[in-house]
Amino acid sequence: MTRLHVEEYGDGERTAVLIHGLSSSSATWQRLVPELTRAGYRVLAPDLAGHGRSARTRYSRERWAEDLLETLPAEPELAIGHSLGGVLLAMIAERLRPARAIYADPAWYPWQGVGYGEAQPAIRTAKGWSHADARAAHPQWSDELVAARVAELGTWDPETTHMDYLETAYVPVFPVVPSLIVRAGTSDLIAPALADHFQDVGFTLRTVPGTGHFLHLDDHKGFVAALDGWV
């Protein structure tokens, strides 16, 4: 097991856990954390191994999942996972048993028409991004968000992309706890037909129009609105 660095905020009686995606860190939740602490949550945001302030080690989807189970308290009131974080949350939901699970544009399937492995070289190039590169990729973000993205890329180990898991998908069959999927408006991961399927098997599904994969940063107000009734 890898001991994970965890950022902790607030002292509410309810607990929320936030799981970031590949190449990100706990810093990706900087705009959501104040919303949750004001709502009375104690917020725990871990850095996955190879990200943020957590250790560099050998990586696998299963190792990340076990790290989270060893680090996070059981039965939190709320768990949110973005992208890879949504994959890991689905893997551990039955054992973690959050009262509610929210999946933000989860990477349950490869990008449409492109395998995970094929996509990784492009993802790895972000390691060397400058402020100008991040600004070009996210033109609607504030300078503060762009700077935070560059900083977390600086602490990210791109070796996290060199794994067999990248050629397979982890897809939940049905929600084991009450579960919400929040799609990006231009999601390449949860296409409309998949969205219909997940609704059919019991997930609640909402979309934040006009957003890309980092939907929680592209439109903070729209993302928070999509969580209405779940937070």
Q: Given a cut of 70, is residue 116 above it in pLDDT? A: no
Of the chain, the percentage scoring pLDDT greater than 90 comes to: 80
From the list 132, 125, 120, 82, the residue with the least C-alpha distance to 104 is: 82
Q: Give the pLDDT confidence of 47-91 residue by residue, as tens digits.
A: 999 999 999 999 989 999 999 999 999 999 999 999 999 999 999
231 belongs to a structural domain: no
175 belongs to a structural domain: yes
163 vs 148 pLDDT, higher one: 148
Of the chain, the percentage scoring pLDDT greater than 70 comes to: 93
Q: What is the 3-state secondary structure (H, E, C) of 124-149?
A: HHHHHCCHHHHHHHCCCCCHHHHHHH
DSSP 79: E
Supply the range of the domain harboring residue 34.
6-226
Number of domains in the chain: 1
148 belongs to a structural domain: yes
Give the integer Cα–Cα distance in Å for 212 and 217: 9
Residue 64: CATH number of its domain: 3.40.50.1820
Determine the pLDDT at residue 166. 54
- pLDDT class of 115 with cuts at 50, 70, 90: low
Q: Given a cut of 90, is residue 11 above it in pLDDT? A: yes
Give the integer Cα–Cα distance in Å for 77 and 63: 24
From the list 80, 105, 82, 108, the residue with the least C-alpha distance to 93 is: 80
81 belongs to a structural domain: yes
1 belongs to a structural domain: no
What is the model's pTM? 0.95
190 belongs to a structural domain: yes
Burial class (CB in 10 A: 0-12, 13-18, 19+), 44: buried
